[in-house]
Structure 1
Amino acid sequence: MLESLTPFETVLVAGASRGVGREIARILQPNFTVKALLRSNIAVNELEVLGIQPIMGDAMIPEQLDLSGIDAVISTIGGLPGDIKRADDEGNRNLIDAARKAGVKKFVLVTSIGCGDSVVALPPRALEALGAVLEDKEKAEQHLIDSGLTYTIVRPGGLKSEPATGTGFLTEDPKISGSIHRADVADLVCKCLISDRANQKILSALDRNQMFSASEIVEFIP
């Protein structure tokens, strides 16, 4: 159970309209003021019912990103390989720059296994299919690392939209691959948000029961 015994009162979640971002916002809401960055009003009513405050803005347009009053940012934004423009790099870069300008205390970026040194964890076919997206996400990771912000980068394995299993875990080992449910990723991300141990860490997120190969697991406990 999350407790707001942190320097954060207001958390902005970018990507809260669906998926991992929506789950993160839902978990945080009882203990924090949670704002959701939205580029359209499609999910406004659903988020407001959950007690989440929508704010309109497009991460691809820097002028729309005023993060004044935001203590922490969690970004899950991204796109698909076939998209003409993806937010994985440019959108996240804009958010990182806006966070630095606003004096945000912590930035948590959700990317993917296959970025950076975890490229060794994916088979060639997956790398071929996701290569462009992973390259964009990796650029965003590096921009965050270079930003001077306090950060955590979480790289989930293959995502599934089933209920949480409670068997998700984090590791600093970039060689491990597998799958994980979105709800379990969200739980792990929220734990990283409030953990000083997770500061300046790059962590893979996986499910103990959904590993692609038998591996010795060294878990990171945030």
Structure 2
Amino acid sequence: MKTIAIFGANRGLGLAMVKHYVQQNYSVIAMVRNPEKATELAELNVKIIQCDAVNQADVQYAVSCLPKDAIVISGMGSFQAQQSVDYIGHRYLIDALEEQEIQRFLMVTSLGCGDSWPMLSDRAKAVFGAAVREKSLAESWLQTSQLAYTIVRPGGLKDGESTGSAEIYQNEEVHGLINRSDVAVITERLLNDDTSIGQIYASVDPTLSY
């Protein structure tokens, strides 16, 4: 049974990914800042490891607990966080994975990161620009690492059941929404496809509207 370790697992996208991988019968390890608040994760009977990603020692310890063949996914973000995790948390994580020689890593960022920055509207840049720039720095750190990485940039995230209609795109301008549950499905598809290593994908669901 493959082990999936998910950082930022307590809510939002991270929690949706935990639920998906549990349903697919993976062995799931959930990394969370505050295990006392991880009530939904406890109900799923997954292994929980405390990890504040802006604390380098926490990250190093959490990664040291993983099997060498673990597949690691990060859905970490800085929504409502006192300190931004988007860049520094991912930098600590990427460095720790290299140190522990854990190779396979998928990072979820967002549309607008890296070379897709010009596609963001002025309003989006004003509201989310700082976080997107930090995520872009994290992407650059990952791309210059030794990890077998894949990057997924989803559109606007929504709750809801998987529609099965989400698509992935490369090298084209993309706008739109996607359910968190569909992002989870896409991460599994890409992790099971070795041609996704070293690649960056945008993802939206063309059936969803604002």
Q: What TM-score comes out, normalization by structure 2 length?
A: 0.90
Equivalent residue number for residue 206 of structure 2:
208
Q: Deviations over 1:148-194 (max 9, x none)?
A: 10000000001111222111111113411111111111111121122
1:16 is matched with 9
Say if 1:89 and 1:140, in contact at 8 Å, map to a contact too: yes
Instruction: Give, as a single letter, the amino acid of the residue that structure 2 aligns with 1:22.
Output: L
SS in structure 1 of the partner of residue 174 of structure 2 = coil
Unaligned runs of 5+ in 1: 213-222
1:118 maps to 116
Tell whether the 8 Å contact from 1:34 to 1:52 is kept in structure 2 after alignment: yes
Map 1:171-182 onto structure 2 (within 5 A). Answer: 171-182=169-180
CA distance in 2, matches of 1:18, 1:44: 8
Distance 1:73 1:97 in 2: 13
State whether residues 155 and 177 of structure 2, in contact with CA within 8 Å, keep that contact through their aligned partners in structure 1.
yes
Distance in 2, matches of 1:208 and 1:96, equals: 32
Question: How many matched pairs?
Answer: 204
Higher-helix-fraction structure: 2
Once the two structures are TM-superposed, the CA of residue 57 in structure 1 deviates from its matched residue by 1.5
Distance in 1 between residues matched to 2:170 and 2:86, nearest whole Å:
22
Inter-partner Cα distance in structure 1 for 2:140 and 2:172: 16
Asked whether 1:41 is paired with 2:35, we answer yes
Identical counterparts, % of pairs: 34
SS, match of residue 161 in structure 2? coil
Q: Any conservation in 1 of the 2:54–2:85 contact (CA below 8 Å)? A: yes
Judging changes above 3 Å, is the alpha-carbon distance between structure 1 residues 33 and 83 closer, same or farther for their aligned structure 2 residues? closer
In the alignment, what sits opposite 1:87?
Answer: 85
Q: Deviations over 1:63-83 (max 9, x none)?
A: 112213332210011113x75
8 Å contact from structure 1 (residues 177, 211) kept in 2: no
* Partner of residue 51, structure 2: 57
Distance in 2 (alpha carbons) for counterparts of 1:16 and 1:141: 20
Cα distance in structure 2, aligned partners of 1:91 and 1:201 = 21
1:36-65 CA deviation, whole Å, 9 max, x = no partner?
111112343421321311011211111112
CA deviation after TM superposition for structure 1 residue 84, in Å: 4.8
The residue type paired with residue 167 of structure 1 is S
CA distance in 2, matches of 1:137, 1:53: 27
8 A Cα contact 1:11 1:72, kept in partner? yes
Amino acid at match of 1:23: A
- Provide the rounded CA distance (Å) in 1 between the counterparts of 2:136 and 2:47: 30
Contact 1:117 1:174 in 2 (8 A): no
Q: What is the RMSD of the two structures over their aligned residues, measured on CA atoms?
A: 1.8
Once the 2 structures are TM-superposed, how far is the Cα of residue 196 of structure 1 from its aligned partner? Answer: 0.6
Alpha-carbon separation, structure 2, partners of 1:104 and 1:211: 39
Contact 1:25 1:34 survives alignment (8 Å): yes
Superposed, which structure 2 residues align to 1:165-176 within 5 Å?
165-176=163-174
**Where does structure 2 lack aligned partners over 5 or more consecutive residues?**
none
User: What corresponds to 2:74 in structure 1?
Assistant: 75
Aligned to 1:189: 187
1:109 counterpart residue number:
107
- Kept in 2, the 8 Å contact 1:120–1:174? The answer is no
